[in-house]
């Protein structure tokens, strides 16, 4: 019965409302994708094992967010946009050169949430609004992790036992033949 109600509600929705929602989700998706692409680039520069693992955790959640957004667009019969252009990430010198990048990631996540929170609050479609709010909430959690990474806290996603210490650095190239 729920599927029938959803189908009827979808039919009753005003086209301009659906179009406006699809436009909002598309813009949200494009900006969210740009941040994910940046985080992937920064992760490639982070040689610290624990910090790199935190970035990988965040990236996995972000990929889930993008999947939700893409499915929301498909639900609205809207086209999926191509990825935005990639922005260059410049790395300074030294072992901790990634720390300013992590601080910038925290700032960018916060800026995204501040920009989008009022727009999401205005969404009248409860399911899509809920999904967008979950994304924003997780972005604030990621902001906290980025802030901690920038401060040098290595226990971001758990503390390793002493016999699991990770000496050395993460390889810059993942596949070596």
Architecture of domain 15-156: Up-down Bundle (1.20)
Query: CB of 113 within 8 A of CB of 69?
Result: no
Residue 152: the pLDDT is: 87
Question: Rounded distance, CA 81 to CA 29, Å?
Answer: 9
Residue 108: the pLDDT is: 98
Give which of 119, 132, 136, 116 is closest to 73, Cα–Cα: 132
Joined together, the tokens standing for residue 89 give 């990430």
Q: Does 15 have pLDDT greater than 60?
A: no
Out of 34-48, 111-125, 160-174, give the one with best mean pLDDT: 111-125
Residue 2: the pLDDT is: 47
Residue 164: the pLDDT is: 57
Question: Rounded distance, CA 96 to CA 79, Å?
Answer: 41
Q: How confident is the model at residue 134 (pLDDT cuts 50, 70, 90)?
A: very high
Task: Provide CB contacts within 8 A for 89, sequence distance 6+.
Answer: 38, 41, 42, 45, 101
Residue 12: the pLDDT is: 39
Question: Rounded distance, CA 79 to CA 61, Å?
Answer: 23
Q: Does 161 have pLDDT greater than 60?
A: no
DSSP alpha helix (H) spans, the chain? 2-12, 15-43, 49-75, 99-121, 126-150
Q: Does 154 have pLDDT greater than 60?
A: yes
Residue 171: the pLDDT is: 53
Parse the chain into domains and list their residue ranges.
15-156
> DSSP per residue over 30-43, as a string?
HHHHHHHHHHHHHH
Question: Rounded distance, CA 5 to CA 66, Å?
Answer: 27
- pLDDT, tens only, 32-69: 999 999 999 999 888 888 888 899 999 999 999 999 99
What mean pLDDT comes out for the span 92-107?
90
Q: How confident is the model at residue 16 (pLDDT cuts 50, 70, 90)?
A: very low
């Amino acid at each position: 019965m729920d599927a029938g109600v959803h189908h009827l509600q979808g039919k009753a929705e005003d086209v301009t409302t659906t179009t406006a929602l699809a436009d909002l989700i598309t813009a949200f998706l494009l900006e969210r994708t740009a941040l994910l692409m940046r985080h992937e680039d920064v992760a490639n520069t982070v040689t610290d094992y624990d910090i790199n693992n935190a970035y990988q955790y965040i990236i996995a959640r972000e990929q889930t967010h993008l999947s939700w957004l893409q499915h929301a667009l498909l639900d609205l019969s809207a086209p999926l946009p191509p990825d935005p252009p990639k922005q260059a990430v410049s790395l300074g010198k030294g072992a901790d050169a990634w720390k300013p990048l992590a601080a910038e990631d925290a700032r960018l996540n916060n800026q995204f949430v501040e920009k989008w929170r009022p727009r999401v609050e205005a969404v009248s479609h409860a399911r899509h609004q809920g999904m967008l709010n979950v994304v924003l909430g997780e972005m604030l959690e990621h902001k906290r992790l980025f802030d901690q990474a920038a401060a040098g806290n290595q226990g971001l996603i758990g503390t390793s036992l002493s016999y699991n210490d990770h000496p050395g650095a993460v390889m810059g190239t993942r596949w070596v033949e």
